[in-house]
Amino acid sequence: MDLFGKVAVITGGSSGLGYALAEIAIEEGMSIAISGSNAEKLDRAAQALRAKGGDVLHRVADVASEAEMDAFADAIFTAKGQVNLLCCNAGVNTLRPVEAMNMEDWDFVVGTNLGGTFNTIRAFLPRMLAQQGGRHILYTGSMATVSQQAYQGLAPYTASKMGILGLSLGLETENPPEILGQTMAFVGSAESEMSSSALVRRPGRSMPRPSDKAVGVRRIPAEQAARMMLDGVKQGKRYLATHPELAPDVAAAHNPILAAFTDV
């Protein structure tokens, strides 16, 4: 999809990968709308993006809230008349082993990551399908979507990211690529504030994330990951990986599953 002159919506756009997606989208000549749950951070991000020459709308909206996402969608379609690229990027994590979690911990992660992705699509997709012009959904996935957890405490996060893949596959059955483009990015490790945000929002219920060096993962700048993701949209890629060197980890997770279909 050609991005120039199009409209992009980015959830979780006030920092990290979401902010980087907004920056690159502006460079590509897009108008953008960003949302986030922290008003002060969102205001700062919008001001910085406008200073870069961006046509920017912003609104505080929790992806897990139907009312807030409906209001966000109403504001964007009223102002712009269309949404061509919907970036489902907002995400949280809380590093706790399953036996130390409660349902509130689970809902915080799964309700935001998977439920919030569904809620974002629910709020925007009907009008996207009715509009003229391109329409595409970009998902911020993870290596947790397709492989073994890199470290302990990621069970709800992994479940949510795998669920997003399932949601996209179901959506593809209902809206094939010629109607709705979809790109899922398997992001190995990029700069973000996801773990630190959880420490603030869930004090006492989250643990610091181990360093990437400690778990043997190469972290890349958020801008690099964002560029790869938007290039993938332009090229119409269904899937893309930011860390191709992690392919053996994906094979190690999926080869035993494939073997179950032949070992009969």
Q: Which residues are catalytic?
A: 157
Q: How is the beta sheet containing 31-36 ordered, strand by strand?
A: 56-60, 31-36, 7-10, 85-88, 136-142, 181-187, 239-241
**Side-chain half-sphere exposure of 12, counting CA atoms within 13 A:** 25
Q: Which residue has the tokens 């603030």?
A: 200
Residue 140: partners with Cβ closer than 8 Å, 6 or more residues away: 12, 17, 18, 87, 88, 89, 91, 185, 187, 229
Q: Which helix (H) or strand (E) is 64 found in, with range? A: none
Assign residue 4 a region: left if phi > 0, alpha if psi is -120 to 50, beta otherwise? beta
Rounded Cα distance, 86 and 175, in Å: 15
Eight-state DSSP code of residue 152: T
Judge whether 103 and 24 are in contact, CB under 8 Å.
no
The values of phi and psi at residue 3, to 5°, are -90, -20
C-alpha dihedral sign at 140, 146, 149, 150: negative
